[in-house]
Amino acid sequence: MPVDLHSFAIPEEARVRHLRWKATVDFRSRTIHATATWEIESNTLADTLVLDTKGLTIDHITLNDNQPTGFRFAEPDALLGEALTIMIRPDTKRVNIVYQTSPDAEALQWLQPQQTSGKQHPFLFTQSQAILARSWIPCQDSPGIRFTYDADVQVPEDLLPLMSASNPQRKNSTGVYHFEMQQPIPAYLLALSVGDVSFQAVSERCGVYAEPVALERASWEFQDLENMVIGAESLYGAYPWERYDVIVLPHSFPFGGMENPRLTFATPTILAGDRSLTSLIAHELAHSWSGNLVTNATWDDFWLNEGFTVYFEHRIMEKLYGRDYAEMLAVLSLQDLNETLLTFKAENKEQDTCLKLHLEGRNPDEGVTDIAYIKGYFFLRSIEEKYGRAKFDAFVKDYFSDNAFSAMNTEKFIVYIKKYFQSHYRLVLEDLKLNEWIYDTGLPSNCPNPVSGKLKKVEAFLEKWNSGEKPDVSVGREWSTHEWLHFLKNLPEVVNLEQMEVLDNFGNFTSSGNAEITTLWLVMTIRNQYHQADSKLEQFLINTGRRKFLIPLYRELLKSANGRDRAIEIYAKARPNYHFVARNTFDALLK
């Protein structure tokens, strides 16, 4: 396998196979005290095991059944942390590390009660992707290295811990819980959440965890979970992780979702009240195959995780809600991709528009852009369109089963797909096209062109609207969230106050409970000084933590008259509710 430049591990010398993790979660000191016991395999000549760590304090390390051993830390690297080198012997089967995390561990988000919906209890959740697992567990933090794990976790009695593993469904009186993950996973899929959450089953193998006040809404929103799993299985094979549950995190969760195996972590902003934003769940579910089962070998190959996942997500949505619906999503994503390509060009970052990335010395988070996701999706779709869906589907299904529980890099992928098409269909995939998509900037000329009849109708409606004609506004009653988004995105930038009021009456935007619609509308209300929405804006900024929605609103405020003062005033009230990555963003933006 290729060398992973974001990990210090030397797996060809000694590698981890299984983790036994015994931990106590301490909210008062914002630390975890733990023993990580690694079962390892080593080359007979190897005398060291190298693990990734970041900010961990090691108490002591022993081998097998408590034999003392030496260890040393390398000089810290600001991005990668500190390599931990442990002396081992030829008979070493286990390495036991007694340690504690730092209160600033980057993967651990400690929330105060006021940052939760219930306001009564603190909350903790982790985000290990891409290279942060090392800040809470000493590990070989490379996506190409897999291991199984079990854990015993002690938490305060009124809280429930959950992991990317077999999970409890209710609290017990001891505060100690046992977890098992029997399928091997890479370190970036290690996950833990601890909070006052309850469980509600949706089906035999699917369910929802949320804070009690949000549980009912969440389980209504996710009624289709089981159908999504069935739909996904009918496309690309049996679901490989037994249970599929979703936890809805508190509002300060700054991301959309995270595909932790068996337990997707999700933002509460997908609780739109009309099940219209659940493609995010289809996405995280699709990761159960692309990413979690067949994993990018390094972060330079991130498009293999995300491009396949977006492709699979679109196919699940098509299966459940029809081609029309899925095409609508595809058109909207192509628009986003084109905007991103223009931005990258303007910022002189065209090199980052290749699917294969070069992230050496950079934070892998810089690869989290529309390129990996949407360009990756259209690349795979271009192969589907050229050779037909039946052939492509057979390929995808075999790709997942042939490479299950292992790592894939871009070069290996090219060899695999060419060989597959040659041996199964006697078809020769042209290097030229593959290379153009993968190693060249921008979008190749054979990029698929999705067409949505529904969005075309919205465009026709917009034309009338903009020309001053009175279109039939009753059509809006039939529109889905995505049609409304398309409408809002394509309105003129400047709209007079009278027209703003007409618009608001048409779409009831100011009172919308849908975070996607609310964000686009509020940007318009700031730009056009529509003050009827002022209190909605303030309330939304205070109660939302997902950066995707906050960034455009604060940016637009900064552009408007007196907007800076207003932004600073609202931010002062909102800041205690935000997650530290969001605080970092807005401290910088509003300084």
Task: By CB under 5 A, name the binding residues for Zn ion.
Answer: 306, 309
Q: How near is the Cβ of 287 to Zn ion at its closest, in Å?
A: 6
Residue 494 CB contacts under 8 Å (≥ 6 apart), including other chains: 527, 528
Compute the 3-state secondary structure of the chain and give helix, strand, coil in percent, each to the nearest 5: 45, 20, 35
Q: Are 258 and 129 in contact (CB under 8 A)?
A: yes
Q: Which is nearer to Zn ion, 115 or 305 (CB)?
A: 305
Q: How near is the Cβ of 283 to Zn ion at its closest, in Å?
A: 6
Active site residue 373: yes
Q: Quick one: which of 352, 425, 347, 442 has its CA closest to 390? A: 425
Active site residue 284: yes
What is the rounded distance in angstroms from the CA atom of residue 171 to the CA atom of residue 544? 28
Q: Can you tell me whether residue 22 is helix, strand or coil?
A: strand
Cα-based angle 546, 547, 549 (whole degrees, multiple of 5): 80
Shortest Cβ contact with Zn ion: which residue? 309
As a dihedral over the C-alpha atoms of residue 33, residue 38, residue 44, residue 50, rounded to 10 degrees, the angle is -50
Structure tokens at 226: 């089981």
Q: Which is nearer to Zn ion, 151 or 408 (CB)?
A: 408
Q: How near is the Cβ of 300 to Zn ion at its closest, in Å?
A: 16
Q: Which is nearer to Zn ion, 82 or 306 (CB)?
A: 306
Q: Which is nearer to Zn ion, 138 or 257 (CB)?
A: 257
Q: Can you tell me whether residue 36 is helix, strand or coil?
A: strand
Q: 226 pairs with which residues across the strands?
A: none
Q: How near is the Cβ of 332 to Zn ion at its closest, in Å?
A: 17
Q: Residue 372 carries which DSSP code?
A: I
What is the rounded distance in angstroms from the CA atom of residue 179 to the CA atom of residue 263? 13
Q: How near is the Cβ of 309 to Zn ion at its closest, in Å?
A: 5
Residue at 534: amino acid letter:
D
Which residue among 209, 373, 377, 554 is the active-site one?
373
Q: Can you tell me whether residue 556 is helix, strand or coil?
A: helix
Q: Which is nearer to Zn ion, 92 or 305 (CB)?
A: 305
- Give me the sign of the Cα torsion angle 83, 142, 16, 190: positive
Q: Which is nearer to Zn ion, 306 or 370 (CB)?
A: 306
Q: How near is the Cβ of 295 to Zn ion at its closest, in Å?
A: 12
| Phi/psi at 53 (5° precision) | -145, 160
CA distances from 77 to 108, 360, 494, 521 (A): 19, 13, 48, 43
Q: How near is the Cβ of 531 to Zn ion at its closest, in Å?
A: 38
Which residue among 284, 306, 384, 436 is the active-site one?
284
Q: Which is nearer to Zn ion, 306 or 504 (CB)?
A: 306
Active site residues: 284, 373
